[in-house]
Amino acid sequence: MRRVQVDEQIVGKFSAKTIYNRTGRTPLLRRGTRIRPSMVAALQRRGIQAIWVTDELFPDLEVQAVVRDETVNVTRRCLEDIFKSAKEKAPPSQAQALRLAAALRSLVDDILHNDDVVANVAHLRTWDNYTFEHSVQVAILSVLVGKHLLMTEDQLVRLGTGAILHDVGKVTVPQEILQKPAALTADEFEIIKQHPRLGWDLVHEGFQNIMPTSSIVVLQHHERLDGSGYPSHLKGDEIYVFSRVVAAADVFDAIRAERNYRARYAPRRVLQIMQEEAGPKLDASAVQAILAHVAIIPVGEIVRLTNGLLGAVTGLNQGHPLQPVVTVVADDRDEPIERDELDLRGTPLHVDQILNDWPPGLVNRVQEFTGIRSGR
């Protein structure tokens, strides 16, 4: 299964997980349901931007989530409340802050209990509500990093709370600027650059008593070790450790995501950017923890290899982020071939590209081919 953006492209696919409504009790879409056009509209109306679907060619491929769905849903609801208030420029109440911290405690608990050496954190495929979804991802990534940097449970909760709130100041930035499908003008960038300070002004008081170190992250997450960041051009140790972790997670998630103003980066480019930024700009140990313990190309993704073969990622290799285990199903001209599980580690091959879906018609051709091969 893999995570896909909710749009017309998912019509005909099968839901791989049950989706619940806001209360978490009524199912909106049950696992195994074939998706009809009316369901796409219903999901979109309820603000559900991405769902898990079963892969037609790999129906049995399960993805082990780092954080349980219930935990993610509760956390999302708490954050949604805070974002809603923030839009009205109202700081979160003490009660909202405490609820969010409690949700983060469950999230930390899930991550501490997960023993995957390399974690699958799904790629973000959402355009309309990018800031919100990105915030949840950055919280998960930051806690994973903190875990591998051997932070205590309490530290992880404070780190995760800061991470999930890091972009809260963006809710006051006009949508036209946030979603502009082109490069920003200098003036527009100046407006974006205000979001750490705006966010800090908003949450600082509410979180002052319960977890002051979380709100520092909101203010500092765009500071860079060499002083080239904003808003205060802090350097090195002047930047609090939580902020340094969140900065690395923020960059990783942003460059990995597909955005409405640019195509998805090739995985090799993602790795290269992270390696270049580690040291001069981003905390090297945080980057190292991400590259060692978070999959750049998670299990379930459809990938094209450097020799043109097409398949799905079916296993991960720690320390070889571009060389997972890939089960190939088609050649470089998208013609079906005998299914083969390739462990790319130790070979000259790596993943060249991640695709959003199988090329048109390929699913049928592969199914026919497999049927013929097995004598059906």
Residues contributing to the site for Fe ion (CB under 5 A)? 167
Q: Give start and end residues of each alpha helix (H) in the chain.
A: 37-45, 69-87, 94-113, 130-148, 153-165, 175-178, 186-192, 195-208, 212-220, 241-256, 267-277, 284-293, 362-373
State in angstroms the smallest separation of the CB of 103 from Fe ion.
21
State in angstroms the smallest separation of the CB of 274 from Fe ion.
17
User: Taking Cα atoms as reference points, which of 292, 74, 88 lies closest to residue 164?
Assistant: 74
d(CA 320, CA 331): 23
Specify the residue, 1 or 82, whose C-beta has the smaller distance to Fe ion: 82
State in angstroms the smallest separation of the CB of 327 from Fe ion.
37
State in angstroms the smallest separation of the CB of 127 from Fe ion.
17
State in angstroms the smallest separation of the CB of 157 from Fe ion.
21
Specify the residue, 92 or 199, whose C-beta has the smaller distance to Fe ion: 199
Specify the residue, 221 or 350, whose C-beta has the smaller distance to Fe ion: 221
What amino acid occupies position 230? Y
User: Any idea which residue has 């059906």 for tokens?
Assistant: 376
State in angstroms the smallest separation of the CB of 318 from Fe ion.
29
State in angstroms the smallest separation of the CB of 247 from Fe ion.
9
State in angstroms the smallest separation of the CB of 267 from Fe ion.
23
CB 74 within 8 A of CB 103: yes
∠ CA 19-69-319 to the nearest 5 degrees?
Answer: 125
d(CA 274, CA 122): 18
Taking the CA atoms of residue 149, residue 151, residue 155 and residue 157 in that order, the dihedral angle to the nearest 10 degrees is 70
- Which residue has the closest beta carbon to Fe ion? 167
8-state DSSP, 345: T
d(CA 354, CA 87): 35
d(CA 115, CA 99): 27
d(CA 330, CA 340): 10
Specify the residue, 223 or 301, whose C-beta has the smaller distance to Fe ion: 223
∠ CA 289-271-184 to the nearest 5 degrees?
Answer: 110
Specify the residue, 55 or 167, whose C-beta has the smaller distance to Fe ion: 167
